């Protein structure tokens, strides 16, 4: 009888090892597992960082640094085939309403470490997640950026009843389109009759 | 009765271009040209107004790198050599142009001009900061400052400690030199992002200036558009908005006053035109560059450059001062009809525009201030004085903005310069980590950490990204960014390995000697 039990235990162990090493990508990746993976990111300047900067109301710039050991751990955990069939992505979230709503998903090449992303969402607050989309469509976050505000391009619709806009003051600014800016660059670039 | 206010604000800044390792640095000439053409002429004009008891109000922002360079003994000595060279060159020009009457009188003009500048420089014992301090004490000139190395703050949005350090170090440094903390700050490139006002509030700054759209797109919508400041709702810091109309008149080389055909042509200089052998003593490493002697006026389109006629240019400066006042009067009259408080027009400019880029700019400013002293409609003010009279301001949060081309961050973040941010961010994170690890370092380690912070701040100067974008001296901007980052990296490596090269550190401290009282703990 004990021999039978031993055999069953042995088979169960083989099956367990098979599932965690040979085809790990098929298993369900729980939120806890994702968190645990992020927690493996050592807290140092070299590890798992993504930064987002606003270029203008339509475009953001992001740069990231995912150290090799994170990617190695990923491969060890999910398997080489999962890695080869997965897709690195940046997800853009609109945080304006408090809860993040995904507004864009951009495939990236992890061999690069930066890219511009067109967002065309002036006035929102956003953040980014850089992660891996597995063949089973689960998304493993490797790094998360801080939130940034994208500047507005329109006059605010919010009116303070104690300070209603005064027509005389706003007369020169009838539309957003006639607002320009001038700076020292204008002086350098636009000067007529330059040396050339 | 005065019906509205005009706040003229000049922002004086140059990147830290001190090169003790070189004998004749091309970049130090940026400073020398600005001293000759802008800073000393401004000091002379304002002093004369005070001597003649002419009432005026003006705000001047002096950036910390500029204060540091103007106070630096090595640069002071080098400037003296430079201005003496110019005096000698002008003397040679008087001889050379003896048979060229159109240019001969101009050679005399430059000779007199350089002599006057030299005289003023010696009068203040080479210390122009003492001259500005004296002007500040008159109560007519409000002097403020900018961020430590003119770092572009909206691109430090994710690094609160570093953005705060840029401001705090600037305020401490300003206080060391001027004996008080300024009430306002000039945000480099007018670069503001929501949240920056909290840092300003922590550091007891009362006001800052944003570009026009920073106020127009504020929330809630400002009642008076840009013609009254707003107060940031949570921090209580006040934001003044730039007036676009008056900015264009002076800024725009195409539509504005500086492009007038009678004004001196900036881009034609004898440094590019006369025989190299004749000029070699006056050019750095015999490289052709501007000498400051320019004989031509802008002249009409499609016509050859004509000789400069100072009398005509002076008359134009007078006409343009009148025109500026006329336009402001109309603006104020129109606005004040329905406003329940006098409108304020805020007109900020780069100080180097006046004199360096626009040779007649100081003359124009002189005419303007004299005429405004007698004007019945417009009252000159400073943001500080305005806030003493008006405290009931609308709460409204300005929008992220800058005065760079396009109005946002695109001048300092684009395909030409975006590569720097990854390095700047990593370097800052690493330095903060090291600083936190070392609460009680040895004196040598402390010096190394202080210098590392100095190097980071110098790498963050907005000028490098700006130059990379404009494409003027890109190699120098790249070199400066990478050099400071590599210095920082080496310092941290040596700290890590407990092998600080004290001789190298001492050389670095001597070379990049800005902020001698800096304490790295500011970023902890």
pLDDT band at A42 (very low <50, low <70, confident <90, very high): very low
Residue B506 lies in a domain: yes
Is there a contact between A185 and B470 if contact means CB atoms under 8 Å apart? Answer: yes
Distance CA B364, CA A53 (A): 40
CATH number for the domain that contains residue B71:
3.20.110.10
What mean pLDDT comes out for the span B172-200? 97
Both B134 and B42 in one domain: the answer is yes
pLDDT higher than threshold 90 for residue B298:
yes
CA dihedral of residues B285, B288, B293, B294 (deg, nearest 10):
-170
Which of A48, A67, A148, A163 would you mutate first to test chain B, the one with the most B CBs within 10 A?
Answer: A163
In whole angstroms, what separates CA A14 from the centre of its chain? 38
pLDDT value for A14: 54
Residue B164 lies in a domain: yes
pLDDT value for A47: 55
Residues ≥6 apart with Cβ < 8 Å to B324: B246, B249, B250, B257, B364, B368
**Number of Cβ pairs closer than 8 Å across A and B?**
200
pLDDT value for A29: 40
Both B352 and B483 in one domain: the answer is no
Note down the domain range covering B115.
7-22+30-248+346-395
Both B384 and B475 in one domain: the answer is no
Taking each helix axis from N to C end, the angle separating B419-437 and B160-178, rounded to the nearest 10 degrees, works out to 80
- The answer to whether B429 and B423 have CB atoms below 8 angstroms apart is no
pLDDT higher than threshold 90 for residue B145:
yes
pLDDT band at A25 (very low <50, low <70, confident <90, very high): very low
pLDDT value for A18: 43
pLDDT tens digits for B42-78? 999 999 999 999 999 999 999 999 999 999 999 999 9
CA distance A43 to chain B (A): 10
pLDDT value for A174: 72
pLDDT higher than threshold 70 for residue B124:
yes
Q: Which residues of B touch A187 (CB under 8 A)?
A: 251, 253, 258, 353, 357
pLDDT value for B338: 87
Query: Which residue, among B245, B214, B259, B437, has the nearest Cα to B331 in the 3D structure?
Result: B245
pLDDT value for B48: 98
pLDDT band at A82 (very low <50, low <70, confident <90, very high): confident
Both B435 and B494 in one domain: the answer is yes
What mean pLDDT comes out for the span B194-204? 98
Q: Which residues of B touch A164 (CB under 8 A)?
A: 223
Three-state SS for B184-249 is EEECHHHCECCCHHHHHHHCCCCEEEECHHHHHCCECCCCCCCCCCEECCCCCCEEEEECHHHHHH
pLDDT higher than threshold 50 for residue A22:
no
Both B69 and B114 in one domain: the answer is yes
CA distance A159 to chain B (A): 5
Residue B275 lies in a domain: no
pLDDT higher than threshold 60 for residue B389:
yes
Which of B152, B153, B220 would you mutate first to test chain A, the one with the most A CBs within 10 A?
Answer: B220
What is the overall mean pLDDT for chain B?
Answer: 96
Distance CA B104, CA B85 (A): 19
> In this complex, is the C-beta atom of B212 within 8 Å of any C-beta atom belonging to chain A?
yes
pLDDT value for A3: 64
Residues ≥6 apart with Cβ < 8 Å to B158: A51, A52, A53, A145, A146, A148, B425
- CATH of the domain spanning A28-149: 2.60.40.10
Both B201 and B238 in one domain: the answer is yes
> In this complex, is the C-beta atom of B223 within 8 Å of any C-beta atom belonging to chain A?
yes
Where do the domains of chain A lie?
28-149
pLDDT higher than threshold 50 for residue A41:
no
pLDDT tens digits for A156-181? 999 999 999 999 999 888 766 666 66
pLDDT band at A77 (very low <50, low <70, confident <90, very high): confident
pLDDT higher than threshold 60 for residue A39:
no
pLDDT higher than threshold 70 for residue A4:
no
What mean pLDDT comes out for the span A73-90? 84
Quick one: which H or E segment has residue B12?
A: strand B4-12
How many alpha carbons fall within 13 Å on the CB side of residue B32? 26
pLDDT higher than threshold 60 for residue B306:
yes
pLDDT band at B106 (very low <50, low <70, confident <90, very high): very high
Residue B362 lies in a domain: yes
Phi and psi at residue B148, to the nearest 5°: -50, -55
- The answer to whether B209 and B240 have CB atoms below 8 angstroms apart is yes
Residue B283 lies in a domain: no
Residues ≥6 apart with Cβ < 8 Å to B251: A182, A183, A186, A187, B349, B353
pLDDT tens digits for B398-441? 999 999 989 999 999 999 999 999 999 999 999 999 999 988 99
Phi and psi at residue B350, to the nearest 5°: -70, 130
pLDDT value for A190: 46
What mean pLDDT comes out for the span B484-508? 97
Query: Which residue, among B364, B43, B378, has the nearest Cα to B243 in the 3D structure?
Result: B378
Is there a contact between A53 and B244 if contact means CB atoms under 8 Å apart? Answer: no
Structural domains in chain B (count): 2
Both B388 and B437 in one domain: the answer is no
pLDDT higher than threshold 60 for residue A184:
no
CATH number for the domain that contains residue B486:
1.20.1430.10
pLDDT higher than threshold 60 for residue A196:
no
pLDDT band at A76 (very low <50, low <70, confident <90, very high): confident
pLDDT higher than threshold 90 for residue A73:
no
Three-state SS for B473-514 is CHHHHHHHHHHHHHHHHHHHHHHHCCCCCHHHHHHHHHHCCC
What mean pLDDT comes out for the span B321-337? 96
Give B 188-207 residues with CB within 8 A of chain A.
189, 193-195
Residue B210 lies in a domain: yes
pLDDT band at B10 (very low <50, low <70, confident <90, very high): very high
Residue with tokens 């004996």: B179
Sign of the Cα pseudo-torsion (A183, A186, A189, A193, in order):
negative
pLDDT value for A66: 86
pLDDT higher than threshold 50 for residue A26:
no
pLDDT higher than threshold 80 for residue B364:
yes
- The answer to whether A126 and A150 have CB atoms below 8 angstroms apart is yes
Cis peptide before B220 (omega within 30 of 0): yes
What mean pLDDT comes out for the span B89-108? 97
Residues in chain A: 196
Both B227 and B125 in one domain: the answer is yes
pLDDT band at B378 (very low <50, low <70, confident <90, very high): very high
pLDDT value for A80: 80
As a whole-number percent, the residues of chain B with pLDDT over 70 amount to 100
Quick one: which H or E segment has residue A53?
A: strand A49-56
What is the overall mean pLDDT for chain A?
Answer: 76
Phi and psi at residue B63, to the nearest 5°: -75, 150
Both B438 and B509 in one domain: the answer is yes
pLDDT value for A19: 41
pLDDT higher than threshold 50 for residue A17:
no
Quick one: which H or E segment has residue B81?
A: helix B73-96
Question: ipTM of this predicted complex?
Answer: 0.93
pLDDT higher than threshold 90 for residue A192:
no
Both B358 and B450 in one domain: the answer is no
Both B130 and B217 in one domain: the answer is yes
Facing residue for B410 by CB, picked from A56, A182, A194: A56
Both B360 and B469 in one domain: the answer is no
Taking CA atoms, B348 is separated from A106, A170, B7, in Å, by 41, 21, 8
Is there a contact between B335 and A146 if contact means CB atoms under 8 Å apart? Answer: no
pLDDT value for A181: 60
pLDDT higher than threshold 90 for residue A79:
no
């Amino acid at each position: 009888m004990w021999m039978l039990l031993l055999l069953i235990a042995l088979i169960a162990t083989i099956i367990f090892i098979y599932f965690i090493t040979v085809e790990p990508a098929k298993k369900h990746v729980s939120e806890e597992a994702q968190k645990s993976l992020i927690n493996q990111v050592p807290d140092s300047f070299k590890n798992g960082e993504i930064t987002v900067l606003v270029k203008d109301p339509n475009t953001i710039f992001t740069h990231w640094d995912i150290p090799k050991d994170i990617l190695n751990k990923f491969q060890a955990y999910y398997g080489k085939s999962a890695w080869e069939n997965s897709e690195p992505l940046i997800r853009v979230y609109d945080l304006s309403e408090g809860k993040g709503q995904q507004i864009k998903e951009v495939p990236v090449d992890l061999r690069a470490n930066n890219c511009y992303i067109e967002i065309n969402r002036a006035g929102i607050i956003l953040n980014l997640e850089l992660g891996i989309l597995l063949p089973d469509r689960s998304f493993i976050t490797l790094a998360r950026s801080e939130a940034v505000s994208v500047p507005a391009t329109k006059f605010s619709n919010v009116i303070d009843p104690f300070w209603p806009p005064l027509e005389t003051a706003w007369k020169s600014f009838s539309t957003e389109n006639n607002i320009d800016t001038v700076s020292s660059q204008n002086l350098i670039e636009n000067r007529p009759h330059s040396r050339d | 009765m005065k019906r509205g206010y005009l706040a003229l604000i000049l922002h004086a800044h140059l990147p830290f271009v001190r090169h003790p390792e070189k004998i004749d640095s091309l970049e130090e000439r940026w400073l020398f040209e600005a001293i000759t053409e802008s800073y000393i002429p401004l000091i002379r004009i304002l002093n004369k107004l005070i001597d003649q008891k002419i009432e005026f109000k003006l705000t001047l922002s002096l950036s910390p790198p500029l204060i540091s360079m103007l106070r630096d003994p090595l640069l002071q000595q080098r400037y003296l050599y430079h201005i003496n060279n110019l005096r000698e060159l002008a003397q040679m020009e008087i001889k050379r142009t003896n048979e060229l009457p159109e240019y001969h009188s101009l050679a005399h003009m430059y000779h007199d001009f350089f002599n006057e500048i030299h005289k003023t420089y010696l009068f203040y014992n080479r210390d122009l900061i003492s001259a500005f301090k004296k002007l500040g004490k008159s109560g007519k000139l409000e002097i403020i400052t900018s961020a430590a190395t003119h770092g572009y703050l909206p691109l430090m949005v994710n690094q609160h400690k570093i953005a705060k350090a840029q401001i705090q170090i600037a305020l401490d440094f300003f206080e060391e030199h001027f004996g008080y903390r300024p009430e306002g700050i000039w945000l480099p490139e007018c670069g503001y992002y929501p949240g920056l006002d909290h840092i300003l509030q922590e550091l007891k700054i009362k006001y800052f200036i944003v570009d026009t759209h920073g106020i127009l797109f504020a929330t809630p919508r400002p009642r008076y558009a840009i013609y009254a400041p707003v107060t940031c709702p949570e921090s209580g810091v006040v934001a003044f908005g730039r007036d676009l109309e008056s900015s264009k008149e002076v800024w725009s080389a195409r539509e504005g006053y500086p492009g007038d055909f009678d004004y001196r042509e900036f881009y034609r200089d004898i440094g590019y035109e006369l025989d190299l052998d004749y000029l070699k003593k006056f050019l750095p490493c015999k490289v052709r560059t501007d000498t400051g002697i320019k004989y031509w006026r802008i002249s009409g389109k499609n016509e050859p450059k004509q000789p400069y006629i100072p009398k005509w240019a002076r008359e134009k400066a007078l006409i343009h001062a009148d025109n500026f006042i006329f336009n402001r009067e109309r603006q104020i009259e129109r606005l004040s009809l329905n406003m329940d408080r006098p409108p304020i027009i805020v007109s900020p400019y780069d100080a180097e525009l006046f004199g360096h880029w626009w040779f007649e700019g100081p003359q124009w400013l002189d005419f303007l201030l004299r005429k405004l002293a007698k004007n019945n409609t417009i009252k000159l003010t400073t943001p500080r004085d305005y806030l003493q009279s008006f405290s009931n301001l609308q709460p409204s949060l300005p929008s992220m903005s800058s005065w760079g081309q396009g109005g946002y961050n695109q001048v300092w973040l684009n395909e030409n310069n975006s590569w720097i941010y990854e390095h700047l961010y990593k370097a800052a994170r690493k330095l903060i980590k090291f600083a936190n690890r070392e609460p009680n370092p040895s004196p040598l380690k402390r010096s190394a950490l202080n210098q590392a912070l100095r190097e980071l701040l110098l790498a963050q100067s907005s000028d490098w990204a700006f130059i990379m974008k404009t494409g003027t001296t890109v190699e120098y901007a790249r070199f400066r960014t990478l050099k400071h980052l590599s210095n920082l990296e080496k310092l941290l490596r040596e700290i890590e390995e407990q092998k600080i090269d004290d001789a190298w550190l001492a050389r670095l401290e001597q070379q990049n000697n800005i902020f001698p009282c800096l304490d790295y703990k500011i970023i902890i």
